[in-house]
Amino acid sequence: MLIAFNKPFNVLCQFTDRSQPPRATLAGFGLPANVYAAGRLDYDSEGLLLLTDNGSLAHRLTDPKHKQPKTYWVQVEGVATEDKLQALRDGVQLNDGPTLPARVQLLETAPALWERDPPVRFRKTVPDAWLAVTITEGRNRQVRRMTAAVGLPTLRLVRASMGPHALGALQPGQWREI
């Protein structure tokens, strides 16, 4: 079984949370029994999360040697100049080593997304931009660290696809079997 789930903002990619106060988890969304997240999506990120009950499928989806592309829509703070975009395309140096090159596209308009709760802060004096960023690695908070490294801090991050699987029309908290 493979499930596509639109993980809302501020939800953990696990079914339990031992922190106090407890945070929202996958347990609150009526997902089938015995499925587990294939990979991670940060607590403060949104979008496509794949869940499965098949360990070998989870491995194929997440093992870096399989280089499954993951595409994110990223709202960044600042002006996304061609130099900054090219630096992301070339790969940037992070504290845990250089990243592989990324596919990066400046989006002309923001993707058609749901409202986030709470909303992203808006500042009239600071421009922002939307990027489509595709990576084949999966380091901890990698896209956020990459955009910060080129001077474009991430304001909002939504995973749009993972391998051949796309978010599609799923709204936050909704899921479908693939």
User: Which amino acids are annotated catalytic?
Assistant: 42
Whether cis (ω within 30° of 0) applies to the bond prior to 111 is: no
Strand 154-162 relative to strand 46-52, pairing: parallel
Strand 103-107 relative to strand 97-98, pairing: unpaired
Determine the straight-line distance between the first and last CA of the chain, rounded to whole angstroms.
Answer: 8
| Degrees, nearest 5: CA angle 102-126-8 | 60
**Radius of gyration of the chain measured on its C-alpha atoms:** 16
Q: Coil, strand or helix: which one is 170?
A: coil
